[in-house]
Amino acid sequence: MAIVYEPCRRDELAQTLPLLDAQAPHRALAWRDGSAIDVAQFVAHVELVAAQLPHAPAAVNLCEDRYAFLVAFCAIVRRGQANLLPPSRAPQAVAEVMAAHPGCYALGEQAMQPAPPGYRRLPTLVADIAPVVGDVPTISAGQVAVIGYTSGSTGTPRAHAKTWRSLHASTAGTLAMLRAAAGGAFTVVATVPPQHIYGIEMSVLLPLLGGVGVHSGRPFFPADVAATLAEVPAPRVLVTTPVHLRALVESGIALPPLAAVLSATAVLPPELAHIAEARFGAPVLEVFGSTETCAFAGRRLTADEHWTLFPGVHLHPQPDGTAIDAPQLDTPAILADLVTLHDDGARFRLCGRHADLLEIAGKRASLGDLTRRLLAVPGVTDGVVFQLDEADAIGVRRIAALAVAPQLDEHAILDALREAIDPVFLPRRLRLVDALPRNETGKLPRAALRALLSGRA
């Protein structure tokens, strides 16, 4: 797990940036247990926790409650340390990340059994703590504030470091898009965990740097989502994923009025976007980004399939991917995504990922398109098509698939696929499962897919 550090620009060595937007010290930064927590009280909690943290290079932030995570996040940064974000909170994933960062510790608000090495409990964040009077703390722009790990959906999770300057810069585009949809300030309810870079951007950085309020919870079931939305003031923005949005739509539950729904972590199916907008009476927006780049483009799929780049972002298509320049990047990054540019480079169309392109027997296809065709089979409620790592006797890496289809068998699914795809791309191994091994943001770690296919999961 090599650590990828972004180079620190010379002008960042002396520059500082505020820990949070505190123009209004009494604005509601978070909603917790039915009450609002303002900026002044939040800063007091941050200072309380920061004073108790040990000297260390970094800490794994394991807080479940979003407000506790926010406090711990800022306290860690305040001490000049980096927030470590493992690809999951599974003990093995946490242990691997901690091993890659000698001298780090773990921090959370709950008792853990077993606990990671050096685990520390957050002190109780009482509501009546005396607010801090004075200026909001500032942080060195070049300080590494976050080291986020990719999900492992394309292989071994990789680490990417984010400076405080880059996190400030990456917030602007999404904030402008959501403010336009909400007509100004808004409150976020998120179904995604704060430990993921998408959760960091939308439920941590927006409240800190964008004057946005956020609910401390992470509702899972549709009824819980509705109840949590009802606890915060309008205008409301629901931050979620395609998997969770589909569950909300299929539940038939009514939600409080929404200003917008924001989705990421996977491409949203057009039919789901249309149904969700009709059901909830709000625009369904998407952001495009990655752990490497943070969000850099957005769209409303029901209006246009093209993505609009955020200000200052430029893409440069290459044969095997796309180079990106963005305000949050000190040096260009290379994405595996293949795109075509439109409107003088202001918008782009996603054509797939280089790693998803298949060539077998002189014929070409993409894993994304094959997965869409699997999901289009009546009776298939979830599924994925992927390529095996090992080659067969003639050197071909064959195709496999996992499907959730309670009323079908493998033969029925394969018969339907024969009508839709070229025979060379039919899955050589297809297994029916009760559920796909999706992580907290709906992604499918490749190692988990292989284990499930072989029956080891």
| pLDDT digits 0-9 by tens, 220-237 | 999 999 999 999 999 999
339 with 368, same domain: the answer is no
11 with 88, same domain: the answer is yes
Q: Pick the residue with more confidence: 63 or 390? A: 63
315 with 407, same domain: the answer is no
Last residue of a domain, one of 299, 334, 352: 352
Per-residue pLDDT, averaged over 376-389, amounts to: 88
Per-residue pLDDT, averaged over 309-317, amounts to: 96
Q: Does residue 152 come out as left (phi exceeding 0), alpha (psi in the -120 to 50 range) or beta?
A: left
Is it the case that residue 359 has pLDDT exceeding 70?
Answer: no
320 with 385, same domain: the answer is no
280 with 426, same domain: the answer is no
Is it the case that residue 8 has pLDDT exceeding 50?
Answer: no
How much of the chain, in percent, has pLDDT values that exceed 90? 61
Is it the case that residue 10 has pLDDT exceeding 70?
Answer: no
- For residue 93, give the nearest of 181, 193, 190 by alpha carbon: 193
User: Which CATH number goes with the domain that contains 243?
Assistant: 3.40.50.12780
**What residue numbers bound the domain in which 304 lies?**
3-352
Q: Pick the residue with more confidence: 372 or 151? A: 372
16 with 157, same domain: the answer is yes
Number of domains in the chain: 2
Q: For position 455, what pLDDT does the model report? A: 74
Is it the case that residue 13 has pLDDT exceeding 90?
Answer: no
Q: Which residues pair with 386 in a beta bridge?
A: 400
Mean pLDDT of the chain: 88
User: Which CATH number goes with the domain that contains 383?
Assistant: 3.30.300.30
Q: For position 131, what pLDDT does the model report? A: 73
Q: For position 332, what pLDDT does the model report? A: 92
Find which of 33-37, 392-396, 422-426 is predicted with most confidence, using mean pLDDT.
33-37
Q: For position 2, what pLDDT does the model report? A: 34
Per-residue pLDDT, averaged over 239-243, amounts to: 92
Q: For position 391, what pLDDT does the model report? A: 66
Last residue of a domain, one of 352, 379, 408: 352
396 with 260, same domain: the answer is no
Lowest mean pLDDT across 16-25, 332-341, 412-421: 16-25
133 with 220, same domain: the answer is yes
319 with 426, same domain: the answer is no
332 with 381, same domain: the answer is no
**422-435 per-position pLDDT tens digit:** 888 889 889 999 99
How much of the chain, in percent, has pLDDT values that exceed 70? 91
Last residue of a domain, one of 352, 381, 397: 352
Residue written as token pair 């940036």: 17
Q: For position 393, what pLDDT does the model report? A: 60
Q: What are phi and psi of 4, to 5 degrees?
A: -105, 105
Q: For position 329, what pLDDT does the model report? A: 94
**60-115 per-position pLDDT tens digit:** 999 999 999 999 999 999 999 999 998 877 888 889 999 999 999 999 998 888 88
340 with 391, same domain: the answer is no
Range 387-395, long-range pairs (CB < 8 A, 24+ positions): 387/358, 388/429, 389/450
**What is the pTM assigned to this prediction?**
0.83
399 with 316, same domain: the answer is no
